[in-house]
Amino acid sequence: MQINVYPKASNQIPAYLFLFLIYSNQVGVGVLGFQRIIVKETGYDAWISVILGGLAAHFVMWIIGRTLGRYPSSDLFGINIDVFGKGIGSLLNYGYMLYYVMVTVRILRDYIEVLQTWMFTEMATWIASATILGLALYTILGGIRVITGYTFISFLLTIGLISFLYFPFEHSRWSYLFPIANSTIPELLEGARRMSLSLTGFEILYMLYPYAQNKEKSRVFSQYGALLTNVIYLILIVLAQTFFSRLQLEKTTWATLTIQQMIHLPFIERFEMIIVSIWLFVIMPNLMLFTWSVARGFKRMHQWSHLKSTLIVLFVVFLGTLPLITREQASAYSSFTSQVSFYCSFIYPIFLYLCVVIKNSRRKRGVEGVPHETG
Protein backbone atom coordinates (compact mmCIF):
# COMPACT_ATOMS: atom_id res chain seq x y z
CA MET A 1 0.00 0.00 0.00
CA GLN A 2 1.32 3.45 -0.92
CA ILE A 3 2.00 5.80 1.98
CA ASN A 4 1.05 8.95 0.10
CA VAL A 5 -1.97 9.28 -2.17
CA TYR A 6 -2.58 11.96 -4.77
CA PRO A 7 -6.25 12.22 -5.80
CA LYS A 8 -7.20 13.63 -9.17
CA ALA A 9 -7.76 17.37 -9.37
CA SER A 10 -11.45 16.71 -10.03
CA ASN A 11 -11.74 15.00 -6.64
CA GLN A 12 -9.91 17.63 -4.61
CA ILE A 13 -11.70 19.92 -2.14
CA PRO A 14 -11.12 23.67 -1.67
CA ALA A 15 -9.58 24.42 1.72
CA TYR A 16 -12.44 26.62 2.98
CA LEU A 17 -14.89 23.71 2.72
CA PHE A 18 -13.01 21.93 5.50
CA LEU A 19 -14.78 24.31 7.87
CA PHE A 20 -18.12 22.72 6.95
CA LEU A 21 -16.73 19.18 6.85
CA ILE A 22 -15.32 19.32 10.38
CA TYR A 23 -18.29 21.20 11.78
CA SER A 24 -20.84 18.85 10.22
CA ASN A 25 -19.01 15.77 11.45
CA GLN A 26 -18.91 17.07 15.03
CA VAL A 27 -22.50 18.24 15.29
CA GLY A 28 -24.88 15.31 15.55
CA VAL A 29 -27.43 13.74 17.84
CA GLY A 30 -25.35 14.65 20.89
CA VAL A 31 -26.34 18.30 20.50
CA LEU A 32 -29.90 17.39 21.44
CA GLY A 33 -29.09 16.14 24.93
CA PHE A 34 -25.44 16.55 25.96
CA GLN A 35 -26.29 19.06 28.72
CA ARG A 36 -27.54 16.55 31.29
CA ILE A 37 -24.28 14.57 31.24
CA ILE A 38 -22.12 17.65 31.86
CA VAL A 39 -24.35 19.19 34.53
CA LYS A 40 -24.32 15.97 36.53
CA GLU A 41 -20.55 16.32 36.90
CA THR A 42 -20.01 20.06 37.34
CA GLY A 43 -23.40 21.60 38.17
CA TYR A 44 -23.45 25.36 37.65
CA ASP A 45 -19.95 25.31 36.16
CA ALA A 46 -20.93 23.07 33.23
CA TRP A 47 -20.24 25.88 30.77
CA ILE A 48 -16.62 26.02 31.99
CA SER A 49 -16.20 22.31 31.24
CA VAL A 50 -17.61 22.91 27.75
CA ILE A 51 -14.93 25.55 27.14
CA LEU A 52 -12.18 23.26 28.46
CA GLY A 53 -13.40 20.39 26.29
CA GLY A 54 -13.40 22.68 23.26
CA LEU A 55 -9.84 23.81 23.95
CA ALA A 56 -8.76 20.16 24.21
CA ALA A 57 -10.36 19.47 20.81
CA HIS A 58 -8.46 22.41 19.27
CA PHE A 59 -5.19 21.14 20.72
CA VAL A 60 -5.66 17.60 19.39
CA MET A 61 -6.65 18.98 15.99
CA TRP A 62 -3.42 20.95 15.98
CA ILE A 63 -1.55 17.73 16.79
CA ILE A 64 -3.32 15.96 13.92
CA GLY A 65 -2.38 18.79 11.59
CA ARG A 66 1.24 18.62 12.68
CA THR A 67 1.24 14.87 12.05
CA LEU A 68 -0.24 15.19 8.58
CA GLY A 69 2.08 18.09 7.76
CA ARG A 70 5.08 15.75 8.00
CA TYR A 71 3.86 13.86 4.91
CA PRO A 72 3.33 15.20 1.38
CA SER A 73 -0.19 13.76 1.01
CA SER A 74 -0.98 10.88 3.34
CA ASP A 75 -3.90 9.74 5.46
CA LEU A 76 -4.17 7.78 8.70
CA PHE A 77 -3.95 4.44 6.89
CA GLY A 78 -0.69 5.36 5.20
CA ILE A 79 0.83 6.93 8.32
CA ASN A 80 0.11 3.83 10.43
CA ILE A 81 1.82 1.60 7.85
CA ASP A 82 4.79 3.94 7.58
CA VAL A 83 5.34 4.27 11.34
CA PHE A 84 4.50 0.80 12.64
CA GLY A 85 5.13 -1.41 9.61
CA LYS A 86 2.71 -3.43 7.54
CA GLY A 87 1.71 -5.90 10.28
CA ILE A 88 0.98 -3.65 13.25
CA GLY A 89 -0.02 -0.77 10.98
CA SER A 90 -2.67 -2.90 9.28
CA LEU A 91 -4.07 -3.99 12.66
CA LEU A 92 -4.31 -0.35 13.73
CA ASN A 93 -6.03 0.51 10.46
CA TYR A 94 -8.59 -2.25 10.96
CA GLY A 95 -9.07 -1.02 14.52
CA TYR A 96 -9.87 2.48 13.32
CA MET A 97 -12.19 1.15 10.65
CA LEU A 98 -14.03 -0.84 13.32
CA TYR A 99 -14.18 2.29 15.47
CA TYR A 100 -15.76 4.27 12.62
CA VAL A 101 -18.36 1.53 12.14
CA MET A 102 -19.13 1.54 15.87
CA VAL A 103 -19.58 5.33 15.87
CA THR A 104 -21.84 5.14 12.82
CA VAL A 105 -24.03 2.54 14.55
CA ARG A 106 -24.20 4.72 17.66
CA ILE A 107 -25.18 7.86 15.75
CA LEU A 108 -27.82 6.04 13.75
CA ARG A 109 -29.28 4.24 16.77
CA ASP A 110 -29.37 7.41 18.87
CA TYR A 111 -31.27 9.25 16.17
CA ILE A 112 -33.71 6.36 15.78
CA GLU A 113 -34.30 6.54 19.52
CA VAL A 114 -35.17 10.22 19.18
CA LEU A 115 -37.61 9.33 16.41
CA GLN A 116 -39.18 6.59 18.49
CA THR A 117 -39.46 8.84 21.54
CA TRP A 118 -40.79 12.02 19.97
CA MET A 119 -42.59 11.01 16.78
CA PHE A 120 -43.07 7.33 15.89
CA THR A 121 -43.35 5.32 19.08
CA GLU A 122 -44.27 2.10 17.25
CA MET A 123 -41.68 2.31 14.48
CA ALA A 124 -39.44 -0.76 14.19
CA THR A 125 -35.74 -0.06 14.46
CA TRP A 126 -34.84 -2.02 11.33
CA ILE A 127 -37.27 -0.04 9.16
CA ALA A 128 -35.84 3.31 10.24
CA SER A 129 -32.28 2.02 9.92
CA ALA A 130 -32.76 0.63 6.41
CA THR A 131 -34.49 3.81 5.22
CA ILE A 132 -31.81 6.18 6.54
CA LEU A 133 -28.91 4.05 5.29
CA GLY A 134 -30.55 3.82 1.87
CA LEU A 135 -30.63 7.61 1.70
CA ALA A 136 -26.99 7.79 2.78
CA LEU A 137 -25.93 5.28 0.12
CA TYR A 138 -27.17 7.51 -2.68
CA THR A 139 -24.87 10.37 -1.64
CA ILE A 140 -21.85 8.27 -0.61
CA LEU A 141 -21.65 6.70 -4.07
CA GLY A 142 -21.32 10.19 -5.51
CA GLY A 143 -17.88 10.53 -3.93
CA ILE A 144 -16.28 12.88 -1.46
CA ARG A 145 -17.11 16.05 -3.40
CA VAL A 146 -20.81 15.23 -3.37
CA ILE A 147 -20.61 14.48 0.36
CA THR A 148 -18.86 17.81 0.86
CA GLY A 149 -21.66 19.63 -0.93
CA TYR A 150 -24.17 17.92 1.33
CA THR A 151 -22.27 19.02 4.43
CA PHE A 152 -22.67 22.64 3.32
CA ILE A 153 -26.44 22.19 3.07
CA SER A 154 -26.42 20.53 6.48
CA PHE A 155 -24.50 23.49 7.87
CA LEU A 156 -27.12 25.94 6.62
CA LEU A 157 -29.93 23.86 8.14
CA THR A 158 -28.16 23.68 11.50
CA ILE A 159 -27.58 27.42 11.67
CA GLY A 160 -31.21 28.01 10.70
CA LEU A 161 -32.50 25.74 13.47
CA ILE A 162 -30.22 27.23 16.10
CA SER A 163 -31.40 30.75 15.23
CA PHE A 164 -34.82 29.82 16.67
CA LEU A 165 -33.18 29.56 20.10
CA TYR A 166 -33.47 33.35 20.27
CA PHE A 167 -37.01 32.92 21.62
CA PRO A 168 -36.10 30.70 24.62
CA PHE A 169 -33.28 33.08 25.51
CA GLU A 170 -35.89 35.75 26.21
CA HIS A 171 -37.04 33.65 29.19
CA SER A 172 -33.59 32.84 30.54
CA ARG A 173 -32.78 33.34 34.21
CA TRP A 174 -29.14 34.30 34.31
CA SER A 175 -28.99 33.87 38.07
CA TYR A 176 -28.99 30.09 37.44
CA LEU A 177 -25.34 30.41 36.34
CA PHE A 178 -24.26 31.39 39.84
CA PRO A 179 -22.27 30.66 41.90
CA ILE A 180 -19.39 30.53 39.43
CA ALA A 181 -16.31 28.32 39.94
CA ASN A 182 -17.99 26.35 42.70
CA SER A 183 -16.71 23.01 41.37
CA THR A 184 -13.35 21.46 42.11
CA ILE A 185 -10.68 21.14 39.44
CA PRO A 186 -11.10 17.32 39.21
CA GLU A 187 -14.85 17.83 38.68
CA LEU A 188 -14.25 20.40 35.95
CA LEU A 189 -11.75 18.12 34.23
CA GLU A 190 -14.14 15.16 34.39
CA GLY A 191 -16.86 17.38 32.94
CA ALA A 192 -14.46 18.43 30.18
CA ARG A 193 -13.67 14.78 29.46
CA ARG A 194 -17.37 13.99 29.18
CA MET A 195 -17.84 17.04 27.00
CA SER A 196 -15.03 15.88 24.74
CA LEU A 197 -17.11 12.79 23.94
CA SER A 198 -19.66 15.08 22.24
CA LEU A 199 -16.92 16.86 20.28
CA THR A 200 -15.44 13.79 18.59
CA GLY A 201 -15.56 13.66 14.81
CA PHE A 202 -12.76 16.12 14.05
CA GLU A 203 -10.40 13.17 13.57
CA ILE A 204 -12.01 12.75 10.14
CA LEU A 205 -9.31 15.24 9.09
CA TYR A 206 -6.96 12.23 8.93
CA MET A 207 -9.01 10.84 6.02
CA LEU A 208 -9.85 14.07 4.20
CA TYR A 209 -6.40 15.64 4.21
CA PRO A 210 -5.09 14.12 0.92
CA TYR A 211 -8.09 15.64 -0.90
CA ALA A 212 -7.34 19.21 0.14
CA GLN A 213 -6.29 21.55 -2.66
CA ASN A 214 -4.30 23.67 -0.23
CA LYS A 215 -3.26 21.46 2.65
CA GLU A 216 -1.88 24.15 4.93
CA LYS A 217 -5.01 26.28 4.66
CA SER A 218 -7.24 23.22 5.13
CA ARG A 219 -5.75 22.75 8.60
CA VAL A 220 -6.60 26.37 9.45
CA PHE A 221 -10.18 26.10 8.21
CA SER A 222 -10.57 22.84 10.12
CA GLN A 223 -9.81 24.79 13.29
CA TYR A 224 -12.46 27.34 12.30
CA GLY A 225 -14.97 24.52 11.94
CA ALA A 226 -14.13 23.19 15.40
CA LEU A 227 -14.39 26.73 16.81
CA LEU A 228 -17.88 27.13 15.37
CA THR A 229 -18.89 23.81 16.92
CA ASN A 230 -17.55 24.88 20.31
CA VAL A 231 -19.43 28.18 20.16
CA ILE A 232 -22.70 26.39 19.41
CA TYR A 233 -22.20 23.93 22.24
CA LEU A 234 -21.42 26.82 24.59
CA ILE A 235 -24.59 28.65 23.54
CA LEU A 236 -26.67 25.51 24.08
CA ILE A 237 -25.25 24.75 27.54
CA VAL A 238 -25.73 28.36 28.69
CA LEU A 239 -29.29 28.36 27.36
CA ALA A 240 -30.09 25.07 29.09
CA GLN A 241 -28.58 26.22 32.38
CA THR A 242 -30.49 29.51 32.34
CA PHE A 243 -33.73 27.87 31.23
CA PHE A 244 -33.82 24.90 33.64
CA SER A 245 -32.80 24.58 37.23
CA ARG A 246 -29.99 22.15 37.96
CA LEU A 247 -32.37 19.45 39.25
CA GLN A 248 -34.59 19.81 36.19
CA LEU A 249 -31.65 19.60 33.82
CA GLU A 250 -30.29 16.46 35.48
CA LYS A 251 -33.62 14.75 34.76
CA THR A 252 -34.06 16.04 31.18
CA THR A 253 -32.74 13.60 28.59
CA TRP A 254 -33.20 15.76 25.50
CA ALA A 255 -32.72 19.29 26.85
CA THR A 256 -32.37 21.03 23.48
CA LEU A 257 -35.55 19.45 22.15
CA THR A 258 -37.44 20.18 25.36
CA ILE A 259 -36.50 23.85 25.09
CA GLN A 260 -37.78 23.90 21.53
CA GLN A 261 -41.23 22.90 22.82
CA MET A 262 -41.80 26.43 24.05
CA ILE A 263 -41.49 27.85 20.52
CA HIS A 264 -44.98 28.47 19.15
CA LEU A 265 -45.60 29.70 15.63
CA PRO A 266 -49.07 30.59 14.26
CA PHE A 267 -48.89 27.86 11.60
CA ILE A 268 -47.00 25.13 13.57
CA GLU A 269 -48.35 23.59 16.76
CA ARG A 270 -45.42 21.36 17.75
CA PHE A 271 -42.20 22.96 16.57
CA GLU A 272 -39.99 20.21 18.07
CA MET A 273 -41.44 17.79 15.50
CA ILE A 274 -39.92 19.97 12.79
CA ILE A 275 -36.59 19.91 14.62
CA VAL A 276 -36.55 16.10 14.87
CA SER A 277 -37.43 15.72 11.20
CA ILE A 278 -34.86 18.19 9.91
CA TRP A 279 -32.20 16.81 12.24
CA LEU A 280 -31.96 13.81 9.94
CA PHE A 281 -30.20 16.09 7.47
CA VAL A 282 -27.83 17.13 10.26
CA ILE A 283 -26.70 13.61 11.19
CA MET A 284 -26.38 12.41 7.60
CA PRO A 285 -22.87 13.91 7.16
CA ASN A 286 -21.76 11.86 10.19
CA LEU A 287 -23.05 8.66 8.63
CA MET A 288 -21.68 9.45 5.18
CA LEU A 289 -18.20 10.61 6.21
CA PHE A 290 -17.54 7.70 8.56
CA THR A 291 -18.90 5.18 6.05
CA TRP A 292 -16.86 6.73 3.25
CA SER A 293 -13.74 6.55 5.44
CA VAL A 294 -14.17 2.82 6.10
CA ALA A 295 -14.87 2.15 2.43
CA ARG A 296 -11.77 4.17 1.61
CA GLY A 297 -9.80 1.96 3.99
CA PHE A 298 -10.89 -1.19 2.17
CA LYS A 299 -9.97 0.37 -1.15
CA ARG A 300 -6.54 1.43 0.14
CA MET A 301 -5.71 -1.89 1.74
CA HIS A 302 -7.43 -4.40 -0.54
CA GLN A 303 -8.17 -2.45 -3.74
CA TRP A 304 -11.89 -3.13 -3.40
CA SER A 305 -14.24 -1.03 -5.51
CA HIS A 306 -15.99 1.94 -3.91
CA LEU A 307 -19.43 0.38 -4.50
CA LYS A 308 -18.51 -2.98 -2.99
CA SER A 309 -16.85 -1.43 0.06
CA THR A 310 -19.72 0.97 0.71
CA LEU A 311 -22.39 -1.73 0.46
CA ILE A 312 -20.51 -3.99 2.87
CA VAL A 313 -20.00 -1.22 5.41
CA LEU A 314 -23.62 -0.08 5.32
CA PHE A 315 -24.84 -3.65 5.67
CA VAL A 316 -22.62 -4.14 8.74
CA VAL A 317 -23.96 -0.89 10.22
CA PHE A 318 -27.51 -2.07 9.58
CA LEU A 319 -26.82 -5.36 11.35
CA GLY A 320 -25.23 -3.46 14.22
CA THR A 321 -28.44 -1.55 14.98
CA LEU A 322 -30.66 -4.65 15.15
CA PRO A 323 -29.59 -6.01 18.59
CA LEU A 324 -30.04 -2.57 20.21
CA ILE A 325 -33.76 -2.87 20.87
CA THR A 326 -34.40 -1.45 24.34
CA ARG A 327 -33.48 1.96 25.71
CA GLU A 328 -31.09 0.34 28.20
CA GLN A 329 -29.24 -1.57 25.46
CA ALA A 330 -28.87 1.51 23.28
CA SER A 331 -27.69 3.60 26.24
CA ALA A 332 -25.11 0.99 27.30
CA TYR A 333 -23.77 0.73 23.75
CA SER A 334 -23.61 4.51 23.42
CA SER A 335 -21.67 4.81 26.69
CA PHE A 336 -19.18 2.12 25.63
CA THR A 337 -18.65 3.68 22.21
CA SER A 338 -18.16 7.10 23.79
CA GLN A 339 -15.33 5.73 25.90
CA VAL A 340 -13.70 4.21 22.82
CA SER A 341 -14.14 7.53 21.01
CA PHE A 342 -12.21 9.37 23.71
CA TYR A 343 -9.14 7.20 23.21
CA CYS A 344 -9.36 7.13 19.41
CA SER A 345 -10.03 10.88 19.05
CA PHE A 346 -7.99 12.45 21.86
CA ILE A 347 -5.34 9.99 23.05
CA TYR A 348 -4.21 8.10 19.94
CA PRO A 349 -3.47 11.23 17.82
CA ILE A 350 -1.04 12.45 20.48
CA PHE A 351 0.61 9.02 20.66
CA LEU A 352 0.82 8.80 16.87
CA TYR A 353 2.39 12.24 16.60
CA LEU A 354 5.11 11.31 19.08
CA CYS A 355 5.79 8.11 17.13
CA VAL A 356 6.02 10.05 13.86
CA VAL A 357 8.47 12.53 15.41
CA ILE A 358 10.65 9.71 16.74
CA LYS A 359 10.49 7.87 13.39
CA ASN A 360 11.51 10.96 11.44
CA SER A 361 14.35 11.80 13.83
CA ARG A 362 15.75 8.27 13.45
CA ARG A 363 15.55 8.53 9.69
CA LYS A 364 17.35 11.85 9.77
CA ARG A 365 20.12 10.49 11.97
CA GLY A 366 20.42 7.46 9.69
CA VAL A 367 20.86 9.66 6.63
CA GLU A 368 23.39 11.88 8.37
CA GLY A 369 25.32 8.79 9.55
CA VAL A 370 25.86 7.46 6.02
CA PRO A 371 29.53 8.09 5.01
CA HIS A 372 30.01 10.19 1.91
CA GLU A 373 32.51 9.20 -0.81
CA THR A 374 35.40 11.55 -1.36
CA GLY A 375 37.07 11.95 -4.68
Q: Contact 285/225 with Cβ under 8 angstroms?
A: no
What's the rounded Cα separation, in Å, for the pair 16 and 221?
6
Mean pLDDT of the chain: 87
CB contact at 8 A, 100 and 292: no
Measure the CA dihedral 347/349/354/359, to 10°.
140
| Residues linked to residue 212 through DSSP beta bridges, in sequence order | 13
- The pLDDT of residue 367 is 59
Q: Give the tens place of pLDDT for each residue, 294-345.
A: 999 999 998 888 899 999 999 999 999 988 888 788 888 988 898 899 899 9
Any long-range contacts for 276-281 (C-beta under 8 Å, 24+ apart)?
A: 276/114, 276/115, 276/118, 276/119, 277/119, 278/157, 278/161, 279/29, 279/32, 279/111, 279/114, 279/161, 280/111, 280/132, 281/153, 281/154, 281/157
Those residues of the chain that have pLDDT short of 70 are: 263-269, 271, 366-375
pLDDT score for 265: 67
DSSP state of 344: I
201: left (phi over 0), alpha (psi -120 to 50) or beta: left
Which pLDDT score is estimated for 44? 83
For position 260, what pLDDT does the model report? 75
Which domains, from first to last, does the chain contain? 9-357 (1.20.1740.10)
pLDDT at 184: 84
User: Contact at 8 Å (CB) between 282 and 134?
Assistant: no
pLDDT at 76: 94
CA-CA distances (angstroms) from residue 250 to 239, 240, 339? 14, 11, 21
Cα gap 328→99, rounded to integer Å: 21
- pLDDT at res. 352: 95
Write down the pTM of the prediction: 0.90
